[in-house]
Amino acid sequence: MSRNKDKIIKTLAKYGLEAKEIDYQPLGPCFEMCGPEGGWLVETTTGEMYLAYNINELINNIETDKGNYTDIKMIQKYCNHVPYWKNQYNHSEGSFCAICKKDLGE
């Protein structure tokens, strides 16, 4: 078994989950306007599914889905920021990400 599959299994086990399927397809071109093809696919025995282009993003998706924000730098790197106003009554104070808490400025 590969090191990456071991990382995935250990991360899932941390939350009491077991992998039903772990698959990796090399990244490559896809049809027009579809983005790259390939990456990681993980399906658990409880039916949860995780997709990502690289192993770090996949581990981050699992950790974030389970509410564990252990590595804030990795979360900030792969987070699709969800802006939230610092002060809902005074928007000039700027915003931050509701997921990773990164300051998004104004």
pLDDT digit string, tens, across residues 29-86: 777 777 778 889 999 999 999 998 888 888 888 887 776 655 666 666 666 677 778 8
C-beta separation of 53 from 40 below 8 A = yes
Pair (37, 85) in one structural domain: no
Domain count, the chain: 2
Pair (43, 88) in one structural domain: no
Pair (45, 81) in one structural domain: no
Domain, as residue range, for 56? 3-68
* Cα gap 71→68, rounded to integer Å: 9
User: Whose structure tokens read 């998004």?
Assistant: 104
* Strands 37-44 and 19-28, bridge-based pairing: antiparallel
Pair (9, 40) in one structural domain: yes
Q: What is the DSSP string of 58-79?
A: HHHHHHHHTT----HHHHHHH-
Q: What is the pTM of this model?
A: 0.60
Pair (81, 63) in one structural domain: no
Pair (64, 84) in one structural domain: no
